[in-house]
Amino acid sequence: MPEVPADESVPQRITVLGAGSWGTSFAKVLADAGRDVTMWARRAELAEEISECGGNERYLPGVRLPESLRATSDATRALDGAQAVVLAMPSQTLRANLSGWLELLPDSGPLVSLAKGVELGTLKRMSEVIVEVTGVDERRVVVVAGPNLAREIATEQPSAAVLACTDHERAVSIQRASFNEYFRPYTNTDVIGCELGGSCKNVIAMACGVAAGLGYGTNTMATLITRGLAEIARLGAKLGADPLTFSGLAGVGDLVATCSSPLSRNRTFGERLGKGESLAQAQEATGGQVAEGVKSCSSIRELANEQGVDMPLTDAMHRLCHDGRSPRQVGAELLGRAKKPEWD
């Protein structure tokens, strides 16, 4: 266990709200870094399995969790004494969940967001939703981004992440609270860029999955990743992100990991669509786990339209998921677009 200096700015008692794959894996990261971690799970049986059996077979089969990790389905108990709170649920459910916990959240300390998505309807990033619902200063909100496939981290494969916060010191406090032998977090003050990178890459990963499902190879994947990065960076530039962020872990890093890995739910979802499954069939097959890109392709597309930013791949994924187009049709539409220089 790495030595963390006894420093009051490093939260010791941390609550993770949400016990899906990333919530559980991130709770393990924190516990392995020496923190005192309590998880909240929606289902009492899952809370019991984590506390009593040291596992979460539905989300992370075969993974042994640290003995120190406790879980409860009682949010009041989970949040009692929390010095930092980690929010680990799907983007489209964050607002409703958070609204139910307002009275229980600590008055100070970081609120850490793991979710990668843009809210339907409001088109807000998750840190914006947190600030709006709780009324906290944005400098309390820390966003976790980067190439972080939950299962790889839960099996202690070396990984890096980005902790983004407009308050550098706050990001450093979570960095010190979470680093361990296999998890190396960097800090970044560009919250907008990190959140956009994490949300938009889910849509591009779906596109790569569709291409794989259609039987296409490496040239197609490389094209989708590269042109995906170009459209993400265009949106980021318009919304005030630091362009450098997109060449970092939250940009190209997460894009490469998610677009290439069979562990990615978004890529797998796209692959099923590419093989001819319907949206409902692909949804059924994910076993209740979230593929954020399915909804974010619509919210990001709307955000891009609002900002006058061209995002053809995101638009294509929206047409495929929600507008009745087939994978081959959207492929043909993309290739048939007006010819243009690589850089506008």
Ligand X SMILES: NC(=O)C1=CN([C@@H]2O[C@H](COP(=O)(O)OP(=O)(O)OC[C@H]3O[C@@H](n4cnc5c(N)ncnc54)[C@H](O)[C@@H]3O)[C@@H](O)[C@H]2O)C=CC1
Ligand Y SMILES: O=C(CO)COP(=O)(O)O
Complex with ligand Y: residue 98 or 194, whichever CB lies closer: 194
Could you tell me the two tokens for 13? 């008692």
Q: Which residues bind ligand X (CB under 6 A)?
A: 18-23, 42, 59, 88-91, 93, 97, 114-117, 148-150, 289-290, 292
75-93 core/surface letters (b: 16 or more CB in 10 A; e: else):
beebbeebbbbbbbbbbbe
Annotated binding residue at 299? Answer: no
Point out which span in 4-12, 126-134, 264-272, 328-336 binds ligand Y (CB under 6 A).
264-272
* List 201, 238, 295, 340, catalytic entry: 201
Q: Cα–Cα distance between 179 and 65 in angstroms, integer?
A: 17
Cβ burial of 255 (10 Å; 0-12, 13-18, 19+) is buried
Point out which span in 57-65, 213-221, 234-242, 256-264 binds ligand Y (CB under 6 A).
256-264
Annotated binding residue at 116? Answer: yes
Q: Any idea which residue has 């894996």 for tokens?
A: 25
Annotated binding residue at 201? Answer: yes
Residue 117 contact partner, candidates ligand X, ligand Y, none, CB within 5 to 8 A by sort of partner: ligand X
Complex with ligand Y: residue 31 or 205, whichever CB lies closer: 205
Annotated binding residue at 8? Answer: no
Residue 205 contact partner, candidates ligand Y, ligand X, none, CB within 5 to 8 A by sort of partner: ligand Y
> Are 113 and 132 in contact, with CB atoms under 8 Å apart?
no
- Per-state percent for the chain, helix, strand, coil, to nearest 5: 55, 10, 35
Residue 20 contact partner, candidates ligand Y, ligand X, none, CB within 5 to 8 A by sort of partner: ligand X
Binding test (CB under 6 A) with ligand Y, winner from 149, 174, 196, 212: 149
Q: Which residues contact 76 (CB under 8 A, 6 or more apart)?
A: 104
Q: Is 201 one of the annotated active-site residues of the chain?
A: yes
> Are 54 and 65 in contact, with CB atoms under 8 Å apart?
yes
Instruction: List strands edge to edge, sheet with 13-17.
Output: 70-72, 36-40, 13-17, 84-87, 111-113, 141-145, 159-164, 183-188
Complex with ligand Y: residue 18 or 147, whichever CB lies closer: 147
Could you tell me the two tokens for 327? 């994978």
Complex with ligand X: residue 27 or 82, whichever CB lies closer: 27
- Determine which helix (DSSP H) or strand (DSSP E) holds 50, and give its type and residue range: none
Q: How far is the CB of 18 from ligand Y (least distance, A)?
A: 14
**265 makes contact with ligand Y (CB under 6 A):** yes
- Determine which helix (DSSP H) or strand (DSSP E) holds 162, and give its type and residue range: strand 159-164
Complex with ligand Y: residue 109 or 147, whichever CB lies closer: 147
Active site residues per annotation: 201
Binding site for ligand Y (CB under 6 A): 116, 147-149, 202, 205, 254, 257-258, 264-266, 292
